[in-house]
Structure 1
């Protein structure tokens, strides 16, 4: 059974100020998402499911989903504030979406095969998808995968970043993911005054799961909603996928194989990051790793 690529895209409308402003980075106007779908197809994925919001479904289908017709089966799941486990409702004060863990859980009715989860606006590289396909075709129930990246390959020269630092056992299994915030490029490297070596493995939300993960994720979502400090009046806490995975690992409910990608991660954290991303993509095309026109 070919795996499915689950793309978390419900935040695209707000982050980019409208889908028309998704940044083109490829030589023919390709977006970072286009490269992920292209890499997934050639790695052996058979379907892509986009988690989006209902309010921009029509424009997303027309501007994004339609370009993949005939190349891969396309499906949609919808993140809605009121899509919650039985017994829970949306508090009157809640304004923010419930987070990436909730977005993933909202796809439970659309995904019935092994699947990967990625962000819509990140570049992970062909090696990440090959590693996910290899894992998902041989994984056992109760196992999952993380494809991480070396910290030094995920920084921005234009500002600080937040990264989930991965603690990995000697035999390659994830022990924990701990969020580090405000990491500056100047803090990374060798020598005096450096806080990080740059060789640390960090999570960029690139995961592989089996369908049974949805039940485990629902258990963590229910626990999140039951916490007094979360469901208390005024709270805008989010249910993040890495935190849910780390909690399952810590309780012995999930084993996560940790891989490190042999490639750079690209993303546009700050507007000034775009020229560097464009240049990096151009270099990959020049080396023949991608065609000049993807779709």
Structure 2
């Protein structure tokens, strides 16, 4: 397979907990956004195109921010995720405000991606190794029935400033994903990592792999995403907060026996901005990576 993989960036989120538009906020020494590091890492890992999923109201701001830096370095396409995207008129929810979620965002790119592709969040820093390992998988191993996810150890992806949501993975003896549960309130408590939910307390073992929404897919997956979306819409017609997530797609494909997911071990370095208080930590971490030579003095 000699097609260069594509990087699909989910940048339409609202950033409600952070209290601002963190997709276009500057964190690097020269005001670089977190996303610029992901694109820089993707280019050096051999990716050939970036597809940006954005909301219509941030399209122009995002283009002005990124295009002067990326022009001539990698092909860029822009796709809008709206509440009408891939929603037939008779199934539209007049009062809906909340976006439909990550798998819907992925579906919005269906008509512009025809090659193996990775999916990332715009506001997470995934690290050079993660792009290398997933780029290699997408260039050499991916198949219509074999996708991948970069796994991160739970203890490396917590915030000191509050609880976080993470997709906690279950694996088989081959280290493949067999299921994922979204835990929405995880934090370190003393020497334990605890998930609190509906009156339950679950202790999660150190080293447990979690998803940080860094996926690798064969383009054939879009047919399955469309099929599941067509089932999701009528089933959630009266639920204005329902969301269609990528882990749901993965779980369904595994349960149906249609695909396996390798958990790739590239998740060494991660940081992100869930809360405003996380920002100084990210700024310091990026400064250190520049100083250690991981990144050049200026990215572009």
Question: Do these two structures clear the TM 0.5 threshold for a shared fold by scoring above it?
Answer: yes
Matches within 5 A, 1:1-295: 1-11=3-13, 22-84=24-86, 89-138=91-140, 139-186=142-189, 189=192, 195-227=203-235, 230-232=236-238, 234-295=239-300
Q: How does the TM-score come out when normalised to structure 2?
A: 0.90
CA contact (8 A) 1:147 1:259 kept: yes
Shift of 1:209: 0.6
- Deviation track 1:180-209 (CA, whole Å, cap 9, x = no partner) reads 12111226549xx99223211000100001
Cα distance in 2 between the residues matched to 1:221 and 1:10: 18
| DSSP 3-state at the match of 1:50 | strand
Structure-2 change in CA distance of 1:34 and 1:93 (3 Å)? same
Structure 1 stretch 194-203 or stretch 9-18: which is displaced more? Answer: 9-18
Cα distance in 1 between the residues matched to 2:234 and 2:87: 11
Question: Structure 1 runs of 4+ off > 6 angstroms?
Answer: 13-18
Structure 1 stretch 64-73 or stretch 150-159: which is displaced more? Answer: 64-73
CA contact (8 A) 2:113 2:219 kept: yes
Cα distance in 2 between the residues matched to 1:62 and 1:17: 22
| DSSP 3-state at the match of 1:110 | coil
Structure-2 change in CA distance of 1:112 and 1:187 (3 Å)? farther
Structure-2 change in CA distance of 1:235 and 1:135 (3 Å)? same
> Aligned pair count?
290
Cα distance in 2 between the residues matched to 1:147 and 1:64: 25
Structure 1 stretch 44-53 or stretch 271-280: which is displaced more? Answer: 271-280
Structure-2 change in CA distance of 1:110 and 1:245 (3 Å)? same
Structure 1 stretch 147-156 or stretch 63-72: which is displaced more? Answer: 63-72
Shift of 1:121: 0.5
Q: How does the TM-score come out when normalised to structure 1?
A: 0.91
| DSSP 3-state at the match of 1:63 | helix
Cα distance in 1 between the residues matched to 2:245 and 2:14: 17
Structure 1's unaligned 5+ residue stretches are none
| DSSP 3-state at the match of 1:261 | strand
Cα distance in 1 between the residues matched to 2:82 and 2:186: 32
Structure-2 change in CA distance of 1:15 and 1:293 (3 Å)? farther
Structure 1 stretch 257-266 or stretch 213-222: which is displaced more? Answer: 257-266
Cα distance in 2 between the residues matched to 1:132 and 1:88: 39
Cα distance in 2 between the residues matched to 1:272 and 1:206: 24
Cα distance in 1 between the residues matched to 2:143 and 2:202: 40
Cα distance in 1 between the residues matched to 2:23 and 2:112: 28
Shift of 1:89: 2.6
